[in-house]
Amino acid sequence: MKIGILSTNRNLYSTRRLVEAGVARGHEMPVINHKRCYMNITSHRPSVHLKGESITGVNAIIPRIGASVSFYGTAVVRQFEMMGVYSVNESVAITRSRDKLRACQLLARKGIGLPVTGFANSPDDTEDLIDIAGGAPVVIKLLEGTQGVGVVLAETRKAAESVIEAFRGLKANFMVQEFIAEAGGADIRCFVVGDKVVAAMKRQGKEGEFRSNLHRGGSATLIKLTPEERSTAVRSAKVMGLNVAGVDLLRSNHGPVVMEVNSSPGLEGIEKATNKDVAGMIIEFIEKNAKKSSTRTRGTG
C-alpha cells in the first residue's frame, strides 16, 4: 500500500516512527506537507497537488495535523476523502475533537465522565460561572490552547475573576472547569487504536505544576488501567469518531473524568514509557480497514 503521512516535519519522532513501521511492513510511506498542498475542487476529478504535481496512487492517509493549522489541514484531509482515499481519522472527527467545547458537549451527551464545566460570554456571568464549576480553585482553559498552553489554575475566587476578565479582554473563548485536586497533578494518557486501548501511561507534573504535559517537564510511567478507565477511553474516542486517539483521563473521587480527546497523539512518550510498538499497531489497523471510498462520517455533531 501507499500510505501518506500528513505532517509538516518528517524529522518529528511520531512521523519517523510511522514511516519506519510502514516500511518494515512493506508499504510506501510518503510524508506529505499538508501546509504546502493545494487543491483542485471539482465534482468529477478532485485532486491534491504539491510542488506542481498531482498526488496520486495514495491508498490511505494518516493525518498528523497541528492545532494551529486545523482549518487548512482538515480541508486537505477532506479533499483526500473526496478522492476516495481512506483516512485513519476522518476530517469531521478531527474538527470535532479540536473544538474543546463541542467535544465536552458531545461527551456529556453520551454520559462520559467530565469535570464540571462552565462556558460563557457576558461579563455579567463571572461569579455564577465560577460557582457552576464548584467555586475556587478552578481551571480556566482557552479553547484553542494545546500542550498545556492557555491553561490556568486560579486558586482563589479573586484570581479566577482576574483571569476571566483578562481572557474576555482578549475576546478569547474559554471554559471554566472544576479542579480535580485528588488527581495530584497527574493524568493518564490512554492510546486508543480501533476499539481498544493499546497502551497507557501515567503523566506526572513536575513539583508545583498542576499540568502534567510532557512538553512542560512532566514524567511518564507505565500504569495499569481499571476496566472503567479502559471503557471510558474507548467510548470517548468512539463518540468523537476517531480510530486513533489519545484520551487523557484524571482519576477523581467519582471515577475517571475525561480532560481531552486528542486526534494527533504523540508517539514518543507512550512508546518509551510502555516499550510498545504503537506505530506498528496503527499501520496494522490501516491494513485491516483501509478500503477505497470507505471513509464516512461517524457519530453526530
Among 162, 179, 196, the domain-final residue is 179
107 and 214: one domain?
yes
Residue 295 lies in a domain: no
Among 62-66, 143-147, 178-182, 195-199, the least confident range? 143-147
Report pTM.
Answer: 0.87
Which pLDDT does position 67 carry in this prediction? 84
My answer on whether 105 and 240 are in the same domain is yes
* Domain count along the chain: 3
The three-class DSSP label of residue 279 is helix
> 236 and 122, same structural domain?
no
CB 237 within 8 A of CB 90: no
Statement to judge: residues 158 and 193 lie in one domain: no
Q: What pLDDT score does 301 carry?
A: 45
Residue 147 and residue 197 share a domain: no
With respect to residue 294, please indicate whether it lies within any of the assigned structural domains: no
Residues 146 and 84 in one domain: no
Asked if residue 291 lies in contact with residue 285, where contact means CB atoms within 8 angstroms, the answer is no
Question: Same domain, yes or no, for 195 and 227?
Answer: yes
Does residue 77 sit within a domain?
A: yes
Asked whether residue 301 is assigned to any structural domain, the reply reads no
Which of these ranges, 7-16, 118-127, 245-254, has the smallest mean pLDDT?
Answer: 118-127
Q: Is residue 169 located within the same domain as residue 271?
A: no
pLDDT per position as a tens digit, 231-260: 999 999 999 999 999 999 999 998 999 999
156, 179, 202: which is the final residue of a domain? 179
DSSP class of residue 135? S
Strand intervals (E) in 64-122 = 86-87, 117-119
CATH of the domain at 190: 3.30.470.20
Domain check: are 104 and 223 in the same one? yes
- Determine the average pLDDT of the residues in 223-227: 94
Q: Taking residues 255-273, report their average pLDDT.
A: 94
> Which three cell numbers, joined as nine digits, stand for 227?
476496566
Dihedral, 136, 138, 142, 143 alpha carbons, nearest 10 = -120
Considering all CA atoms of the chain, what is the largest pairwise distance in Å, rounded to the nearest integer? 60
Whether residues 211 and 245 share a domain: the answer is yes
147 and 49, same domain (yes or no): no
Amino acid 158: pLDDT: 93
Determine the average pLDDT of the residues in 62-77.
Answer: 93
Strand partners for 202: 188, 221
Q: Are residues 14 and 150 in the same domain?
A: no
Nearest to 211 by CA among 148, 144, 270: 148
Residue 204 inside a domain? The answer is yes
What is the side-by-side order of every strand in the sheet holding 31-32? 31-32, 3-6, 60-63, 86-87
**pLDDT the model gives residue 216:** 52
pLDDT above 80 for 263? yes
Contact status, residue 123 vs residue 168, Cβ threshold 8 Å: yes
List the CATH number of the domain containing 138.
Answer: 3.30.1490.20
Residue 37: pLDDT above 60? yes
Would you say residue 300 has pLDDT above 80? no
Domain that holds residue 128: 117-179
pLDDT one-digit tens code per residue, 127-172: 888 999 888 899 998 876 555 567 888 999 999 999 888 888 888 8
Residue 292 lies in a domain: no
- Give Cβ neighbours of residue 284 (< 8 Å, ≥ 6 apart): 25
Domain boundary pick from 91, 126, 159: 91
Q: Does 240 fall in a domain?
A: yes
For residue 232, is it within any domain? yes
Closest CA to 7 of 33, 29, 30: 33
- Of all residues in the chain, the percent with pLDDT exceeding 90 is 66
pLDDT surpassing 80 at residue 62: yes
